[in-house]
Amino acid sequence: MLNIIEIGQDYCIMWREKKGIVAEPEQISLPKLALKNPQHLADSIKDIPKGKVIFLLNISQTNVSLLSDANIPNHFNSDEYINSQAPLPDGRFWLTTIPAYISINLVEMCRIKKIRIEHIQAIDTLEYRMTNYCYQQLMTNMCLFLPLNSGIRLIAFDDNGVCSHHYFSNNPKFREKELSRIYQHLDNSLQDVIILSNNPIYDWLYNFDKGLRFDDNLKEKMITWYLG
């Protein structure tokens, strides 16, 4: 059995596969600051079936960057962060950075729930896994929006499958102008859009450009692909 657990600031969603069958996802509300307390996490996520576990973080404390080489920026070279990097076909690298305390608390939560440490397959970011899925599926001419508390990350794939990485504010006073400036420099063939949030405060994105097509089920397709 494989369990994929998506963790946000105040929620987690559990995706499960057993004997080739993917169960309906279960969403659980998390108490405030749960990520800082492994016991609160263990009490909130009551039922994690036996099997392998992959954690996918969808929180503002993580960082995913595109680099021209594999050198990690100095401000991430400390015991406070856990870094990993992966090469892209065009020679660049993804740098994924997760605060060490979050990884430590997730491992401790598993220990409390008597999940063997070797069953933890990965502690990763939803953003990186989604981007990797898009590469694997050769998806082009699309934008991936990842809303966070502090703003919105945007990953765009052009018609050659090469991506660019952007960030803009969600402040209503100037968010559309910021996005417009980014959009002017993107490939004008971009059409398909994915927003990794169901929060209605991001509904303004649906009205930004009427020519865009929104695929609200892509995350579920990606999860099913990993579970399969």
CATH of the domain at 209: 3.30.420.40
Number of structural domains found in the chain? 1
Task: Please check whether residue 61 lies inside any domain of the structure.
Answer: no
Handedness of CA 64, 170, 148, 162 (dihedral sign): negative
Task: With respect to residue 190, please indicate whether it lies within any of the assigned structural domains.
Answer: yes
Q: Strand 21-22 and strand 2-7: pairing? A: unpaired
Average pLDDT over residues 153-161: 79
**pLDDT value at residue 42:** 93
pLDDT digits (tens, 9 = 90+) for 4-32: 999 988 899 998 887 778 888 889 999 88
**Strand, coil or helix: what is 171?**
coil
Rounded CA-CA distance 57/190 in Å is 27
Residues in contact with 21: Cβ distance below 8 Å, sequence separation at least 6, in sequence order: none
Left, alpha or beta for 114 (phi > 0: left; psi -120 to 50: alpha)? left
Q: 175 in a domain, yes or no? A: yes
- Structural contact between residues 95 and 164, judged by C-beta atoms closer than 8 angstroms: no
Q: Which of 95, 85, 38, 41 is nearest to 64 (CA)?
A: 95
Which pLDDT value is given to residue 149? Answer: 67
Beta bridge partners of 56: 6, 124
- Residue 78 located in a structural domain: no
**Largest Cα span, the chain:** 51
Which one, of 122, 167, 121, 115, lies nearest residue 144 by Cα? Answer: 167
- 211 domain-assigned: yes
| pLDDT the model gives residue 187 | 63
Model pTM?
A: 0.84
Residue 77 lies in a domain: no
pLDDT in tens, 108-130: 999 999 999 999 999 999 888 88
**Range of 144's domain?**
139-215
Give the whole-angstrom CA distance, residue 94 versus residue 49: 32
